Amino acid sequence: MKPENPEVTFLPSHAWKNTVALSVDVEDYFMSPECIPFEEWAGYPSAIHTGMERLLELFKEYNARATFFFVGWLAERYPEIVRWTAEAGHEIATHTYTHHIVSSLDQKEFDESLARSLEILHALAPGQSIRGHRAPAFSLQRNQKWQFDILREHGIEYDSSIHPYSTYLYGDARAPRFPYVLHGIVELPPAVVEWAGFRWPVGGGGTLRILPEWYLERARRRYQAEGFPPVIHIHPWETVTGHPPLDLPWKQRWIHYAGLDTTVRKLRNLLQNHTAIPLGDYYQRLLKNHTAGR
């Protein structure tokens, strides 16, 4: 049973020691919303099979389980990657169909993108109850209740789209750092720590590639010491150093390519030192602990 109080936050627990909540945003290398328009995607050669195979093999090696947030367009075009993921015991979740920034859509457009994605994923993973959502570029807005209303209408129970660290691309630096309920949806924010009065990313996606390993491990341990597993995200293409080059402005190009050759090594370090669970397991345990503490 979900908490009824929309202001509820969850209590920390030392039971999360050495645990991370691992997630994969299943996008291809050309899908960054600031770069290549959706209408042009079909013209690019894909690297998704290589990236997915590498991640699934790596997770199997370390007995790690994760949540895979699928872009519906990719799932529809390459249904085998959804089947591989489900058969390997991972959680299937939605990353919308078009990967458009949610704030750029009206209610009808967001509803249609979410519905189409869910229809595809339910058909490809019929044994799973798809209850998780992550917006492209962490683009849900805390003050836009209609976005969360649409999620609930489609059976979404938890979300991981409010990033409590601001960059030029995304983020809400005033958002809570730990799980909470927002407009009837349990929010599982990507992990951020506080040092010296500032917020710092724990490491996911570009920050995992760019930040040094000593910092990443220290930040994970610091977050865990506060009583929650850090939510970490990665993309399949970030394991493919040889994917086709993109003609990007210098800033986007640097962010896209920086540290690609370190991704697999850093993931191995994470998986060697931490137990990885899907966000759905994290969500369920939060609800169980909350109900037991009433």
Q: Any idea of the CA torsion for 260, 63, 46, 206, to the nearest 10 degrees?
A: -30
CB 164 within 8 A of CB 199: yes
Q: Which two tokens stand for residue 111?
A: 């509803």
Let me know if residue 239 belongs to a domain.
yes
Query: Which stretch of DSSP H or E encloses residue 274?
Result: none
Amino acid at 42: A
Amino acid at 189: P
Let me know if residue 8 belongs to a domain.
no
Let me know if residue 4 belongs to a domain.
no
Let me know if residue 1 belongs to a domain.
no
Let me know if residue 9 belongs to a domain.
no
Residue 207 has phi, psi (to 5 degrees) of -70, -30
Of 61, 64, 57, residue with least CA distance to 23? 64
Let me know if residue 217 belongs to a domain.
yes
pLDDT for 14 equals 81
pLDDT for 1 equals 37
Let me know if residue 149 belongs to a domain.
yes
Cα of 285 vs its chain's centroid, Å: 18
Q: Give the whole-angstrom CA distance, residue 226 versus residue 207.
A: 21
pLDDT for 3 equals 41
Q: Give the whole-angstrom CA distance, residue 180 versus residue 3.
A: 10
Residue 256 CA neighbour count, 13 Å, CB half: 23
Residue 118 has phi, psi (to 5 degrees) of -65, -40
Q: Own/partner pairs for 215-222, CB < 8 Å, 24+ apart?
A: 216/266, 216/269, 216/270, 217/269, 217/270, 217/273, 219/191, 219/193, 220/20, 220/191, 220/270, 220/274, 222/193, 222/195
Query: Which stretch of DSSP H or E encloses residue 170?
Result: none
Ranges of residues in the chain with a pLDDT under 70 are 1-8, 33-34, 291-294
Domain extent for 185: 14-292
Q: What is the CATH number for 246? A: 3.20.20.370
pLDDT for 36 equals 86
Let me know if residue 6 belongs to a domain.
no
pLDDT for 2 equals 46
Q: How deeply is 84 buried, as exposed, middle or buried, from its count of CB atoms within 10 A (0-12, 13-18, 19+)? A: middle
Number of domains in the chain: 1
Q: pLDDT tens digits, residue range 194-250?
A: 999 999 999 999 999 999 999 999 999 999 999 999 999 999 999 999 888 888 888
Q: Which two tokens stand for residue 17?
A: 């020691």
Q: pLDDT tens digits, residue range 127-138?
A: 899 999 999 999
